[in-house]
Structure 1
Amino acid sequence: MSVFDGIPFFAGLDPTRAETFARQCMRKRYSEEELVLDFDDHSTDVYFIVSGDVRVLIRTAAGKEMIFGDFGPGKFFGEMAAIDGAKRSANVTALTNAELLLVPPAVFREIVLHEPEICDRLLRILTSRVRELNMRLFERSVLDLRHRLYAELLRMSAPRKGHDGQSIVSPPPFQHDLAARIGCRREQVSRELTAMIDEGLAEKIRGGLVLLRPSVLEKRVQDAMNDAD
């Protein structure tokens, strides 16, 4: 069994090369709420999530922190430091007990540069992340708090099984987390969620926050963006 087994990013890696690289990598366990890495760390390993979940916080130029996202099994982070050697630009903390595979930068670059399939996979993932960051920046620039909240909830949601046309954010998001994601105060998020519930756009259930009419939220966000033009 290889340390790379079960990690989608390494699918297609030559078994012989994998065996060589595996000797330079290590799996490490983290406890819930344990710090994985912090802003300005000099470490350059790439972290691949084998099990559990982590939260990635990024810091703005003004020093404010924003939740970039929660990553689960199969995802990875830390690739930028492995590529350019710069200090860490994010804080990562384990949300649950987690097991991570730490890949040294030299190994990461060797794999990417000599495995075309994996290189293409990395380029697509990085492009997707840039697009998402660009969209968030655009939203922060042109949308008011209400529509930023709509957009973030839509991003966080998944189709609700057995309920056509509905989506669900599960587990239910904490209000202070939503505030950190869209750049506002918890009290403002609370007011907007109450308004959504009163309007029949959302419903709180034990398993999560249900978006009863996500198509309406999508249209409102798009209309707000068009008006900003």
Structure 2
Amino acid sequence: MNLETIPEEKLRCFSIFDGLTDEELRRVQSKVSVVRFERGETIIAHEARDTDVYLLLDGQVLANRYSLAGREISYRRLPPNSYFGELAVFDGEPRSVNIVAMTEVLIGRLSGPAFSDLMAAIPSISKALLRDMGARIRELSDRIYVTTASSVKMRFYNELIRNAMALGGGDGEIVLKDPPTHAEWAATVGGQRETITRAISELTSLGLLRKQGRNLVITNLHGLMDQVEEV
């Protein structure tokens, strides 16, 4: 995707701009610059003091941190049409995580002051932000519960289900394109790579999971949910 200016229809793909009028979208469009990052580049550094807000147009990024011992702790992968960096606009605090490009990515960047101006001028952006934040708090509450009340294997199963539901769920096969590596899954759920490898093998032997090139296919989401209940 080669862009110098983000088309209005692309901006509408972001939840915070979905209900804007054409005039409001043009106002947003005028404040966004398009930048590229290569795979492995750091877009936001933990503890950095900048306040830019980012719109992920193409590619995938990972939110992570490292422990004092150097262990990676992964929070989540963000797909296209995600946005990030907005918390620093509200509280002015240092960045809470790293954001790293997992692929080549194309990003729309808004300065913190420009984003503040847009929120003040277009109230629907602030309402959408509050709605999204509420959903994230609920999701984090669920993940804290799963982390404290379940095994690594169950946390991995739940992460598979969360990814499947993000793609719409359904009764048919669900393809997770270019999924995390076993080590990345382990960093996300707080376990060891070997545990993830065994869990994938078990689900494959049960016919609930299969590989398709670099992709991972959940063949029966309801069957996977049943496994969580059994665990």
With the shorter chain as reference, the TM-score category is: 0.7 to 0.9
Deviations 1:90-127 (A, max 9, x none): 11111222222221222212222332222221111111
RMSD: 2.8
Return 106-115 or 180-189, whichever deviates more.
106-115
1:173 and 1:208 in contact (8 A); partners too: no
Match of 2:35 in 1: 28
1:28 and 1:99 in contact (8 A); partners too: yes
Match of 1:178 in 2: 185
Give the letter aligned to residue 7 of structure 1: L
- Alignment map for 1:9-158 (pairs within 5 Å): 9-11=16-18, 12=20, 15=23, 18-19=26-27, 25-58=32-65, 65-157=72-164, 158=167
Q: What SS class does the counterpart of residue 77 from structure 2 fall into?
A: strand
Measured in 2, the distance between the counterparts of 1:166 and 1:175 equals 21
User: What TM-score, normalized by structure 1, do the two folds share?
Assistant: 0.83
User: What TM-score, normalized by structure 2, do the two folds share?
Assistant: 0.82
Measured in 2, the distance between the counterparts of 1:187 and 1:218 equals 22
1:4 and 1:10 in contact (8 A); partners too: no
Q: Please, which of 175, 185, 205 is the counterpart of residue 168 of structure 1?
A: 175
Measured in 2, the distance between the counterparts of 1:223 and 1:113 equals 50
| Inter-CA distance 169–102: structure 2 relative to 1 (3 Å threshold) | same
The alignment covers a number of residue pairs equal to 221
Measured in 2, the distance between the counterparts of 1:17 and 1:144 equals 46
Q: Is 1:215 aligned to 2:210, yes or no?
A: no
C-alpha deviation, 1:16, in angstroms: 6.9
Measured in 2, the distance between the counterparts of 1:84 and 1:145 equals 34
Measured in 1, the distance between the counterparts of 2:100 and 2:163 equals 19
Give the letter aligned to residue 178 of structure 1: W
| Inter-CA distance 45–66: structure 2 relative to 1 (3 Å threshold) | same
Measured in 2, the distance between the counterparts of 1:223 and 1:3 equals 47
Identity %: 26
1:59 and 1:90 in contact (8 A); partners too: no
2:169 and 2:221 in contact (8 A); partners too: no
Measured in 1, the distance between the counterparts of 2:17 and 2:7 equals 6
| Inter-CA distance 73–3: structure 2 relative to 1 (3 Å threshold) | same
C-alpha deviation, 1:55, in angstroms: 1.4
Measured in 1, the distance between the counterparts of 2:192 and 2:32 equals 41
Unpaired runs of 5+ residues, structure 1, are 225-229
| Inter-CA distance 172–16: structure 2 relative to 1 (3 Å threshold) | closer
Measured in 2, the distance between the counterparts of 1:149 and 1:141 equals 13
Deviations 1:23-50 (A, max 9, x none): 6542222112111111101111111112
Match of 1:7 in 2: 11
